Structure 1
Amino acid sequence: MKVSPHHLLMFTLTGLSCTRSVTSFAPILTSLTQQPRAARSFSLLAEAIANGETESSTATTQKKKVRTRRILSGVQPTGNLHLGNYLGAIKQWVEFQNTGKFSSAKDLDGKSFEEKDRDVEVVNENFFCVVDMHAITVPQNPDELEESTLKSAALYIAAGIDPTKSKIFVQSHVSSHAELAWLLTCVTPMNWLERMIQFKDKAKKAGTDSVGAGLFTYPVLMAADILLYQADRVPVGEDQRQHLELARDIVRRFNDQYCKGNPYKKRCKKAGLPTYPVFTEPEAMIVKVGGARVMSLTDGTSKMSKSDPAEASRINVLDPPDVIRDKIKRCKTDSLPGVEWDNPERPESTNLLNIYAAVQPGRSREDILEEVKDMAWGEFKPLLAEALITHLEPIQKRYAEVRADDEYLKTVLREGAEAAEEIAERTLRAAKVAMGFSVPK
């Protein structure tokens, strides 16, 4: 009997994801097939990266291959999660959790991802983390970080992440993330990191004398997040493409340096591990929200961001109704008549229409445009505000319930961390064996 992996990884750092078969990358994971207990005596890591398949019988006696995909994604806990985090990441996690698909995910050529083999039954394992270690690449208030972390985790649940279907955990609660990041940092050339655009932009704004070294090396931590779970395809936003390419480069370099030749095979045999390369090389799944990113309310050409000092630039998921109405009332528009999509000279019009459509998922663009195309801004803005309030109200109510039960939330996070650590530790151990560390059995 062969064991086959089918990997899916997703990683979002501001909210990341992935799928493939022998080598790959991801914030998301490896596929293990369901199999008889006797097969479990083999190394679990071997299961995660070997190539093969198992079969399960249906009620009609038709046999299907069973493939398990794991998905890992996370958002930073800095401040209140905003509409861009929710629509661009968490809402799509919920969609994947409930349907097993990212409706807006495309490959690098713009084609949709589909399960081509109709005889394959896909079982998903979902992991969603609060990436608090990424948050500290810029200074955080120690008195606020824990509360921000718990708030983010509670919002995951409130937005529809179901702990009975998915695991929720805090990144720093799984020590393998930090440990693998250090191992990979020692493998990654400095000039690779010097090319990272986000570091250049942030360092230029803050000044290199004031930014920490973590801001320079955090793309390696992101790579570790992905590689720990052996994913082969990663749903990412367009702005994370460069980080995914870095992870691919790191995989090639590590496997080339440490996973070849008889000495490697001997180390694996001694440790009871398979001789496959430690990491899979991930491929990108480009994910967009309704065909576009959620942009700032004060500048339709800039992404909605927690780092923007202007509070009026974003709608926070927990903003009360009066605050939402005020922010929408004051948001930037133009002096042209009507409301329209996809006019490059009217970025604010496109952005506000995208938001309006995103919080009414049952409606088509044509239906929405027919309703609002002839409206003045003074008519459309109140309509948008009420649609936002209606959509966010049940999330805010559920959030209050979750935060009121502190023991429940911490139990969810503890169980999620234990499940993630079990998987991540296998990859970390294989990396250590490949590099020649002395590891306990």
Structure 2
Amino acid sequence: MNQSKTIFSGVKPSGDLTIGNYIGAISQWPEMQDKYRCIFSIVDYHAITVKYQPEELRKRILEITKIYLASGIDPKKSIIFQQSAVPEHTELAWILGCSGSYIADLKKMTQFKDKAGEKQNSVFVGLFTYPVLMAADILLYDTQAVPVGDDQKQHVELTRDIAKRFNNKYGPSFVVPEAIVRKEGARIMSLTEPIKKMSKSASNSNSYISLLDDIEVAKKKIMKAVTDSGTNIDYDSADRPALANLLTIYAQLGNRQIPRLVKDYQGKGYGEFKKDLAEIVAKFLTDFQNKFNNISNKEAQAVLESGRQQASALAQMKMEKIRKVIGVR
């Protein structure tokens, strides 16, 4: 494990992880393991900010762990742990909420606006303060870079602001992190409403493809995916977002370049393109699910316990310093 730079990222164990989650974030993690100290969390406390079932949450925590492993994250190279198993996360979140986080900033967070909608007066406080806990997740490990999907970039910017305010008040205490957002595939869109991000919490299951979807079901979703007016295959994310989204999925899962795909499909229709894309998705899912199914719950639990020990050691050292800095020790 290279100690030159620390990378931190995490996934919330709620809903089915989609190919959008994989392409936008998780797929870039394995290649970072040989370059940096990588810490990847299952951020389960973030999952309880909205309605959930405890039994479902327990299942999802192990599922996400196995997805990490199936994606190529190696517990010998990276720390994989469950957020709630390291209590320093919530302790630091409280401190940051008192020393660096402004209500005005939290009100600007687009994810809170999207999830709360018109019911902002009846949602739990945790949904509002979610970004502060995310900041604690990141700052606790002196993280220098955070690989995230495009939708989380705003939260990393807030984390930077919180770190700077804390450092200005108490002296150098936290590393100010940067977001790493991939150039292509950072935001995979819905298959049914391509102006919206593909979401694992969407009510219409045809709008997303889960990493654990039945293969034939996934192929049907691709064939049903909306396309734009016109018949030629070209890439135009502004005027033809549906086709641009499908081309991006094809390129990312098929390891192809979009300009080459456009050239290869000149003179061919949507039907042939989508049929080929369905096969690309099917091959990816088959390979991924074979790896996933070969990982037992017992193995996943062992990985989480080992990761807890490693993450706890780092978190405890950091919090000893922070407690002294703020005057409670």
Q: 1:235 to 1:91 in 2, by over 3 A?
A: closer
Q: Indicate if the aligned counterparts of 1:137 and 1:218 stay in contact, CA closer than 8 A.
A: yes
Aligned to 1:278: 173
Aligned to 1:158: 70
Give secondary structure in 1 for the equivalent of 2:158. helix
Q: 1:283 to 1:159 in 2, by over 3 A?
A: closer
Q: Separation in 1 of the partners of 2:259 and 2:279?
A: 20
Q: How high is the TM-score relative to the length of structure 2?
A: 0.94
Q: How high is the TM-score relative to the length of structure 1?
A: 0.71
Q: 1:328 to 1:238 in 2, by over 3 A?
A: closer
Cα offset for 1:210? Answer: 2.8
Cα offset for 1:198? Answer: 2.0
Q: Separation in 1 of the partners of 2:147 and 2:196?
A: 22
Q: Does 1:142 align with 2:33?
A: no
- Could you say what the CA RMSD is over the residues aligned between the two structures, in angstroms? 1.8
Amino acid at match of 2:306: E
How many equivalent residue pairs? 327
Q: Separation in 2 of the partners of 1:132 and 1:232?
A: 22
Aligned to 2:269: 376
Q: Which of 1 and 2 has greater Rg?
A: 1
Alignment of 1:231-380 (within 5 A): 231-259=143-171, 277-290=172-185, 292-342=186-236, 344-361=238-255, 363-380=256-273
Aligned to 1:191: 104
Amino acid at match of 1:437: V
Q: Cα deviations across residues 217-274 of structure 1 (Å, max 9, x unaligned)?
A: 0110011011111123434443333222222222222223333xxxxxxxxxxxxxxx
Q: 1:285 to 1:401 in 2, by over 3 A?
A: closer
Q: Separation in 2 of the partners of 1:224 and 1:305?
A: 25
Q: Indicate if the aligned counterparts of 1:173 and 1:417 stay in contact, CA closer than 8 A.
A: yes
Cα offset for 1:289? Answer: 3.3
- Structure 1 runs (4+) greater than 6 angstroms displaced: none
Amino acid at match of 2:64: S
Cα offset for 1:414? Answer: 0.4
Aligned to 1:394: 287
Q: 1:183 to 1:384 in 2, by over 3 A?
A: same
Q: Does 1:434 align with 2:325?
A: yes
Q: 1:356 to 1:212 in 2, by over 3 A?
A: same
Q: Does 1:92 align with 2:5?
A: no
Instruction: Note the residue ranges of structure 2 that are not aligned, 5 or more in a row.
Output: none
Q: Separation in 1 of the partners of 2:50 and 2:158?
A: 21
Q: Separation in 1 of the partners of 2:153 and 2:213?
A: 31
Identical-pair percentage:
44
Higher helix share: 2
Q: Separation in 2 of the partners of 1:84 and 1:369?
A: 21
Cα offset for 1:343? Answer: 5.0
Q: Does 1:412 align with 2:296?
A: no
Q: Does 1:425 align with 2:316?
A: yes
Q: Separation in 2 of the partners of 1:97 and 1:392?
A: 23
Q: Does 1:80 align with 2:16?
A: yes
Give secondary structure in 2 for the equivalent of 1:218. helix
Q: 1:344 to 1:71 in 2, by over 3 A?
A: same
Q: 1:128 to 1:233 in 2, by over 3 A?
A: closer
